[in-house]
Chain A
């Protein structure tokens, strides 16, 4: 079976960071949407 190489490990850490960023961005976007929709 293939193994995780150091470049893939580095890439996945970056990917995890991007996922956290996308979570934060989505949460922020939804919060703004709710604030805009609510009176």
Chain B
């Protein structure tokens, strides 16, 4: 009985405290704390105005001059800091003013505002009932508000995870699409500059505003569709978004790449021949010839860069002034780059004009790194340099050819120096095409000791004693074709347009081998045995690719 008598007031007291605590906590303080917490998270997600200071924003790293993409890291930093801030504010508010001021005042017999209770009874009630009840309610509200905020944060994290996964998944997809597009189109960019000639899987891109060099401008942690340069400029990461409009550099030698690099399949065509065999003049004639075809509306030809235009113009002026091109010097050549378009297809043509000494011995040939990328070879054959041919000339013709400055190295000798090293460099000589161009045709036409070169140059070469060269080329290369060209007539003052177009035929034939539909533009020419065999076997694809109309 005594126990019941004693316990009753205690139960009443505890019940009253509980009612006050739960009532205050659930119906008032929970919502107040939730509001405070949500507002704190909202504030923690800022500042959202550009230019405002924020120590959470990382500095631009030393490697890539771009800001890391927001979704990659900053999204989590902001979300976690905001969520933590929201929770902390709720517990700070619980601590002060609720526990440290309001509850403390109540336990001291004062109202929450600090005013002392008017009577001992009210002070007793404040201390015994209201104080513990408010403390309990505040604590309960803080715990529940934290739990609800935790649930909101979990949903928030789920949404952020979805966003992050979406962006992260878009990176390999976009990269794969770009890579697949390049593979399908056969685009494998190579540096055109001497001493480099290396593969360029991804060019360095320059920011148009601050000139900063971006070495990794592709979808990734710096951005999916755009990278934000350190200067603030948005740089597109895909061709579709306009990355091709940015200036690009070789990542190995930092020299500028043509604007079409990376989107257009490159066809590497080195001109190989001895010193003074007419390589430079032939290249000038080829360029003129491509422009002649363009004037007829069969092609569109553009210089890949201003430097290429300047080089071609200077060469043209030199030929107009002196009718001869100076001997090529200076080690390895820089490719002359032209964009050739026919129909919807486009190729970036790299024409290499190495100095004749480059093929004077095997070691020098090996040093010609660009040969490793060759899609076809233009063998510049000065038949007047061949001892067998010279032996057939009469005294009158011998005097004539002296004016034509014959090469010191005959085509057979050039072929022998080239062939082994080419196989070692490319590992695919059997898949290469060789366009053999007999130069100095204007002189050959005047010789009486030799038959006049006709439509079938391979047959003519056999007639003058170079049948071994024809057979070897037909055997060693995938296909071989022959032309005789007067670069002299195709360049300089008063050039002959038909001769210009003929000079361009070897290049058009090599371009046709890459899939550009220029095969129909090349004349009948002389075809090697191997190409004839390919035709007879009826390999449709090869027929279309390699055989002229």
Interface, chain A (partner B; CB < 8 A): 1-16, 18-19, 21-23, 25-26, 29-30
| Contacts known (A7-B70, A22-B152); A2 close to B57, Cβ less than 8 A | yes
B71 sits at the interface (CB 8 A):
yes
Report if A1-B155 is in contact (Cβ < 8 Å); known contacts: A6-B228, A6-B232, A15-B75. Answer: no
Say yes or no: A19 contacts B41, CB within 8 Å: yes
A5-B45 contact given A12-B78, A19-B156, A26-B151, CB 8 Å threshold? no
Residues of B within 8 A of A3 (CB): 50-54, 57
A21 neighbours in B (Cβ, 8 Å): 159
CA distance A21 to B157 in the complex (A): 11
A22 to B78 Cα, complex, angstroms:
15
27 inter-chain pairs at a CB distance below 8 angstroms, sorted by A residue, are A2-B53, A2-B55, A3-B52, A3-B53, A4-B47, A4-B53, A5-B57, A5-B228, A7-B69, A7-B228, A8-B57, A8-B67, A9-B50, A11-B70, A11-B75, A12-B70, A15-B45, A15-B160, A16-B42, A16-B46, A18-B160, A19-B82, A22-B156, A22-B158, A25-B155, A26-B152, A29-B151
Render B157-195 as a binary contact track against A, CB cut-off 8 A, 1 for contact.
011100100000000000000000000000000000000
Task: List the interface of chain B (C-beta within 8 A of A).
Answer: 38, 41-42, 45-59, 67, 69-71, 74-75, 78-79, 82, 148, 151-153, 155-156, 158-160, 163, 223, 228, 232
Given A2-B59, A15-B79: A23 and B152 within 8 A (CB)? yes
In the bound complex, do residue A18 and residue B46 qualify as a contact, i.e. CB atoms below 8 Å apart? no
Provide the residues of chain A in CB contact with B49, threshold 8 Å. Answer: 4, 9
CA distance A5 to B68 in the complex (A): 11
Contact A18/B74 with A5-B50, A26-B151 known, Cβ cut-off 8 Å:
no
Query: What total of A-B pairs shows CB separation below 8 Å?
Result: 99
Q: CB within 8 A of B74: which of A11, A22, A26?
A: A11
Q: Which residues of A contact B159 (CB under 8 A)?
A: 18, 21-22
Whether B74 and A19, one on each chain, are in contact in the complex, defined by CB atoms closer than 8 angstroms, is no
B52 x A2 contact (CB < 8 A): no
On chain B, the residues within 8 Å of A22 by CB distance are 152-153, 155-156, 158-159
- Which residues on the A side are within 8 Å of B59 (C-beta)? 2
Instruction: Kindly list the 4 A-B residue pairs having the minimum CB-CB distance in the complex, ordered from nearest.
Output: A11-B70, A22-B156, A22-B155, A2-B57
The smallest C-beta distance from B168 to any residue of chain A, in angstroms, reads: 15
CB distance from A9 to the nearest CB of B (A): 5
**How far apart sit A14 and B53, CA to CA, in the bound complex (Å)?**
19
Residues of B within 8 A of A23 (CB): 38, 152
Query: Which of A6, A8, A21, A30 counts the most B-chain CB atoms under 10 A from its CB?
Result: A8
Known: A5-B67, A12-B45, A16-B48. A26 touches B78 (CB 8 A): no
User: How far apart are the CA atoms of A5 and B223 in the complex, in Å?
Assistant: 14
Question: In the complex, which residues of chain B have a beta carbon less than 8 angstroms from the beta carbon of A26?
Answer: 148, 151-152, 155
Interfacial chain B residues near A18, Cβ < 8 Å: 156, 159-160, 163
Known: A5-B50, A12-B45, A29-B151. 7 other contacts (CB 8 A): A3-B51, A4-B48, A6-B228, A8-B50, A12-B46, A16-B46, A18-B160
Residue of B with least CB distance to A24 = B155
A-side contacts of B41, CB under 8 Å: 19
**Pick from A10, A29, A30: contact of B70, CB under 8 Å:** A10
- Residues of B contacting A11 in the complex (Cβ-Cβ under 8 angstroms): 70-71, 74-75, 78
* Complex-state Cα separation, A38 to B240, whole angstroms: 56
Looking at B38, B53, B54, which has the most chain A CB atoms within 10 Å of its CB? B54
Task: List, in ascending order, chain B residues with CB within 8 A of A5's CB.
Answer: 50, 57, 67, 228, 232
Distance from B457 Cβ to chain A, minimum over Cβ atoms (Å): 62
CB neighbours of A29 from chain B (8 A): 151, 155
B72 → chain A closest CB, angstroms = 10
Kindly report which residue of chain B lies nearest to residue A12, judged by CB atoms: B48
Which of chain B's residues have a CB closer than 8 A to the CB of A1? 53-55
A5 to B227, CA, bound (A): 13
Q: CA of A28 to CA of B107 in the docked complex: distance in angstroms? A: 40
In the assembled complex, which residues on chain B have CB atoms less than 8 Å from the CB atom of A13? 48
Instruction: Give chain B residues whose Cβ lies under 8 Å from the Cβ of A9.
Output: 48-50
Contact residues in A for B156 (Cβ distance below 8 Å): 18-19, 22
Q: A26 vs B157: C-alpha distance in the bound complex, in angstroms? A: 12
- Which residue of chain A has its CB nearest to the CB of B52? A4
**Cα(A4)–Cα(B55), bound, Å:** 9
B155: chain A residues at CB < 8 Å are 22, 25-26, 29
Q: Residues of B contacting A14 with CB < 8 Å? A: 70, 163
**Residues of chain A contacted by B152 (CB below 8 angstroms):** 19, 22-23, 26
CB contacts (< 8 Å) of B71 on chain A: these are 11
Q: Are A4 and B45 in contact (CB under 8 A)?
A: no
Q: How far is the CB of B483 from chain A (nearest CB, A)?
A: 57
A8: min CB distance to chain B, Å:
6
A12 to B156, CA, bound (A): 13
Cα A18 to Cα B45 with chains together (Å): 11
